[in-house]
A and B are shown apart, each in its own frame.
Chain A
Amino acid sequence: MNKFLGAAFGLALAIVPLTSSSAQAQAEEIVIPAITALSGPTAVIGQDTQKGVAVALEHINADGGVAGRPLRIQLYDTQGDPGVVRQVMERLTRLERAPIILGCEISAATSAAAQFAEQARVPLLNSSAVSAELLERGYKWYFSDQITADSEAATVVDFVENLMTQGDVVPALLYEDSPRGAGTIERVEALLEARGIEIAASAPYSRADRNLLPPVKRVQTSGANVVIWAGYTEDVVAGLQAMQQLDFKPYIVGIGGGPGDVRIPQLVDPGFIEDVNLSTVDYFNPDMDRAQRFVNAYEEKHGIVPSSYASMCYRGAYTLKAALEKTLEAGQELTAENLRAALLGIDIPGDQLISPFARIKFDEHGRNVGSQNLIAQWKDRGTKKVTVWPPEVAVQEPNPLK
């Protein structure tokens, strides 16, 4: 009996470490780095990214994590500076040996990160930058689930053509002169010219300009009644104030974070926002049915609906989850090569996404073939953004051209 008890005890002692280590492995946290600008001129992107990622992790881990393992995304501050991006990427790839990196950065910084990821042969999953040029470089290790400047330009021009069915449209271009604004407007200009639509004026300005009366007046004196405007929040606020002072009320079709910033009604007279039919091409809007879990959780935490910036890496976290799960369920290690192969193999249907995409599926260039834009317009006296385009996802009709 004593021998039996002793053997049973010994067996129990032998089994306990095995079960603990298997339980430990199941519970072992997966930590993936993400790069974003938590300080510097583009800190508002990083600030909202941080909030969006936090909500994503709550949801992912509440739903069982990644193949039963909790996920943590560790944010690294790049200050929005390509030089700092390179330093951070070097640290992540060479010292910390990250198998994959999530990018929530502007295009200029993402470009630096993508170059480094390619050299280091580590997948960079971009959920933020819209640069189409990055996808044309032939990178094998760069993936982008985000819309591109090409698709933004196409959506804008389709919308303008729809306005043309209602009356005479005289378009003008107004844009901040960074690669983001100038690059997108260049594509819009090319598409408008290809479709035989004449542009009345093109007015670039520097984001640092404190007085936007001159470029806005230039657009006004051209006789334009539709303004296609690429800008960030600061310059859009200044430009709208200039338009109000000049009593200039064109139909505005916006591109970029500025026109669709959820804080716009607090910064500019909401009545004027609706007077100019302020619309924005976007990849997220809080009124989408599929986004309500995210919107409600975010609003409960922060007292405001999420911005598009907050949505980007919420979506990116789920793309990352899909790749991690695909790798683990195949019994493979989380290595750069395996995760790259997993990214090429994922196919997330649109109804599982908070963005208006048909799906997330990457082609051989790392481009998401299912990405789609929407156009949201400020309504209810300029206090609420409503999806108005394309018709298949629109919640309301866009305001008519007056």
Chain B
Amino acid sequence: MSIELLLQAAVSGFLMGGIYALIALALALAFGVMGVLNFAHGDLLMVGMYGVVLISASTSVSPFLAGVLMVPAMMAIGWVVFVLFIRPVVGAAPLVQAQLTIGLSFVIQSAALLWFGADLFNVRTELGASTIRLGAIVVSMPLLIGFVVALVASGLLAWFLSATVWGYRIRATAEDPVMAQLCGVPVRRVQRWVFVGATGSLAIAAGCLMGFYHVTPVVGLQFSVLSLMIVVLGGLGDLRGAMVAALAFGVAEAMASAIFNSASAPAGLYILFGAALLLRPHGLLGRGATI
């Protein structure tokens, strides 16, 4: 095992972590404002990924642009999902929320299987094999662009939350929905728009992923688990914590694969996750709610 290999893993993992951050931020925001852990989050991302494939195939635009074009469609889907499934369980017991969203996950997977079949789809672009070389380290261009796009989107989200009236409303609702209501914040409308916006942001993440990854009907499950772990690790409801956790996760995942070189590498990751929770139950930055 060489330093070169470790550096390669660290760089690739960090870039991957940036994209994980955008995926997890959407979930963290939804949880922070509504208190609903959406187990179908990865499957909604999967829907966005199929959308990117369809748009790219029919218009030949890059997956990153296709992701942006998918935003309105994903927001509409988010609206429907919120009204039909999420709003009725806001404030319900966690088990009820989990059962509903897990069931929704199965429905989305089955629908994707019926509609698109089990075959794998990806988006091939001229950028696909392009790289930037930093000495012995190779940086994949699609991954780099995905990281930059995800970072910009996350930055815009952070700015929105901190510098706009609606951002204040969202933060107020997340902090204390009752007091926010008493202060005139339309809490129900805030919750709806947060879910819609979070689902819309998954379109950007989908575009970033499709630059180098593939989609199948079951790909959402791994992203649901991943984003849930990141949100918990970062501290439930803590957006900055989720960002830090996502970057740490990306690096740890790649380093584990490089260092251990065995089938048990993912297990090491889960052990680290468990240890982090024991030591920092309120998240990495100590600002989140406990489970």
Which label, helix, strand, loop or mixed, suits the secondary structure of the A interface?
A: helix
Q: With A and B bound together, what is the CA distance between A202 and B109 in angstroms? A: 35
- B154 within 8 Å of A by Cβ? no
Residues of the A chain whose Cβ atoms lie less than 8 Å from the Cβ of B5: 214, 217-218, 221
Q: With A and B bound together, what is the CA distance between A218 and B8 in angstroms? A: 10
Residues of the B chain whose Cβ atoms lie less than 8 Å from the Cβ of A234: 120, 214, 216
Query: Which residues of A in the span 169-220 have a Cβ within 8 Å of any Cβ on B?
Result: 177, 182, 202-206, 208-211, 213-215, 217-218
- A41 within 8 Å of B by Cβ? yes
Q: Of residues A182, A208, A210, A268, which shows the largest number of chain B Cβ atoms within 10 Å of its Cβ?
A: A210
- A54 within 8 Å of B by Cβ? no
* Residue of B whose beta carbon sits closest to that of A261: B120
Known contacts A218-B5, A269-B129; A238 and B217 CB within 8 A of each other:
no
CB atoms of A241 and B12 under 8 A apart:
no
- B131 within 8 Å of A by Cβ? yes
Residues of the B chain whose Cβ atoms lie less than 8 Å from the Cβ of A209: 257
Q: How far is the CB of B65 from chain A (nearest CB, A)?
A: 20
CB atoms of A47 and B122 under 8 A apart:
no
Q: Contacting B213 at CB < 8 Å: which of A41, A210, A213, A217? A: A210
Per-position binary interface string of chain A over residues 288-315, scored 1 when its CB falls under 8 Å from any chain B CB and 0 otherwise: 0000000000000000000000000000
Known contacts A208-B266, A211-B13; A217 and B119 CB within 8 A of each other:
no
Residues of the A chain whose Cβ atoms lie less than 8 Å from the Cβ of B155: none
Q: Contacting A182 at CB < 8 Å: which of B113, B131, B140, B263? A: B263
* Residue of B whose beta carbon sits closest to that of A182: B263
Could you say which interface size class chain B belongs to? 35 or more
Residues of the B chain whose Cβ atoms lie less than 8 Å from the Cβ of A204: 261-263
CB atoms of B258 and A218 under 8 A apart:
yes
Q: How far is the CB of B219 from chain A (nearest CB, A)?
A: 9
Residues of the A chain whose Cβ atoms lie less than 8 Å from the Cβ of B110: 39
* Residue of A whose beta carbon sits closest to that of B218: A41
* Residue of A whose beta carbon sits closest to that of B8: A217
CB atoms of B131 and A245 under 8 A apart:
yes
Residues of the B chain whose Cβ atoms lie less than 8 Å from the Cβ of A263: 119-120
Q: How far is the CB of A234 from chain B (nearest CB, A)?
A: 6
- A244 within 8 Å of B by Cβ? yes
Q: With A and B bound together, what is the CA distance between A246 and B120 in angstroms? A: 23
Query: Which residues of B in the span 1-25 have a Cβ within 8 Å of any Cβ on A?
Result: 2, 4-5, 8-9, 12-13, 16
Per-position binary interface string of chain B over residues 204-227, scored 1 when its CB falls under 8 Å from any chain A CB and 0 otherwise: 000000001110111000100000
Residues of the B chain whose Cβ atoms lie less than 8 Å from the Cβ of A327: none
Q: How far is the CB of A221 from chain B (nearest CB, A)?
A: 7
CB atoms of A213 and B222 under 8 A apart:
no
- B87 within 8 Å of A by Cβ? no
Per-position binary interface string of chain B over residues 125-138, scored 1 when its CB falls under 8 Å from any chain A CB and 0 otherwise: 00011110000001
- A43 within 8 Å of B by Cβ? yes
CB atoms of B120 and A241 under 8 A apart:
no
Residues of the A chain whose Cβ atoms lie less than 8 Å from the Cβ of B143: 211
CB atoms of B222 and A214 under 8 A apart:
no
Q: Of residues A177, A182, A217, A244, which shows the largest number of chain B Cβ atoms within 10 Å of its Cβ?
A: A217
Q: With A and B bound together, what is the CA distance between A259 and B4 in angstroms? A: 28
CB atoms of B129 and A272 under 8 A apart:
yes
Q: How far is the CB of A229 from chain B (nearest CB, A)?
A: 16
CB atoms of A267 and B140 under 8 A apart:
no
- B118 within 8 Å of A by Cβ? yes
Question: Which residues of B are at the interface with A, using a C-beta cutoff of 8 A?
Answer: 2, 4-5, 8-9, 12-13, 16, 109-110, 113, 117-120, 122, 124, 128-131, 138, 140, 143, 212-214, 216-218, 222, 254, 257-258, 261-263, 265-266
8 sampled A-B residue pairs with Cβ under 8 A: A40-B218, A206-B257, A210-B213, A211-B143, A213-B138, A214-B5, A241-B128, A245-B138
Query: With contacts A204-B263, A267-B124 known, what are 13 further pairs, Cβ within 8 A?
Result: A39-B109, A39-B118, A44-B118, A208-B266, A213-B8, A213-B12, A214-B5, A218-B258, A221-B4, A237-B214, A263-B120, A267-B120, A267-B214
